[in-house]
């Protein structure tokens, strides 16, 4: 069943936080992969295809709906239900709610390199969780697909 734009956007927000955009810039490729609430065509799910051994930089744009102390980000990618790749990174100590004059916050995380080899190629469920003082306040799920190095990065999930 195809979800409406409103239903899709609602999946990426709660009373604390709203994920506005997620951009993956891959070294050696001109076009970043992007999810954004203002896309003409919204994907039914987030699904990013990246070549093995790629180094990528993740940028997240979000709205805080209330003051948040000690905001962090935790990303977990699983293989057969077992954590395969994790990142836990600080975002900021005192995040203020967004206003019309300051409509969003944006954070770019340090570069991260994917593993390579035939055993790591495949589709993996990933979860991005925002933490306040170490406690989860918002999370969203997406898919990362690792492919052969000669393939181009792409965004999927539009079907």
What is the per-residue pLDDT across 36-89, written as a single tens digit (0 to 9) for each? Answer: 998 888 888 899 999 999 999 999 999 999 999 999 999 999 988 889 889 999
The domain 5-158: what is its CATH number?
A: 2.70.50.30
Report pTM.
Answer: 0.89
What is the per-residue pLDDT across 79-102, written as a single tens digit (0 to 9) for each? Answer: 888 898 899 999 999 999 999 999
| HEC readout, the chain | CCCCHHHHHHCCECCCEEEEEEEEEECCCCCCEEEECCCCCCCCCCEEEEECCCEEEEEEEEEECCCEEEEEEEEEEEECCEEEEEEEEEEEEEECCCCCCCCCEEEECCCEECCCCCCCCEEEEEEEEEEECCEEEEEEEEEEEEECCCCCCEEECCC
Domain ranges across the chain: 5-158
């Amino acid at each position: 069943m195809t979800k409406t734009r409103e239903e899709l956007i609602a999946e990426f927000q709660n009373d604390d936080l709203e994920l506005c955009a997620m951009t993956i810039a891959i070294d050696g490729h001109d076009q970043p992969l992007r999810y954004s609430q203002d896309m003409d065509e919204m994907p039914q799910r987030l699904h990013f295809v990246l070549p093995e051994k790629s180094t990528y930089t993740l940028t997240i744009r979000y709205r805080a709906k209330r003051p948040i102390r000690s905001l962090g980000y935790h990303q977990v990618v699983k293989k057969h239900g077992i954590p395969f790749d994790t990142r836990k990174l600080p975002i900021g100590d005192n995040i203020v709610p967004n206003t019309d004059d300051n409509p969003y916050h944006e954070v770019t995380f340090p570069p991260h390199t994917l593993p390579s080899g035939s055993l790591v190629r495949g589709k993996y469920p990933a979860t991005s969780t925002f933490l306040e003082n170490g406690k989860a306040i918002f999370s969203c799920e997406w898919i990362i697909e690792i492919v052969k190095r000669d393939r181009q990065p792409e965004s999927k999930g539009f079907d």
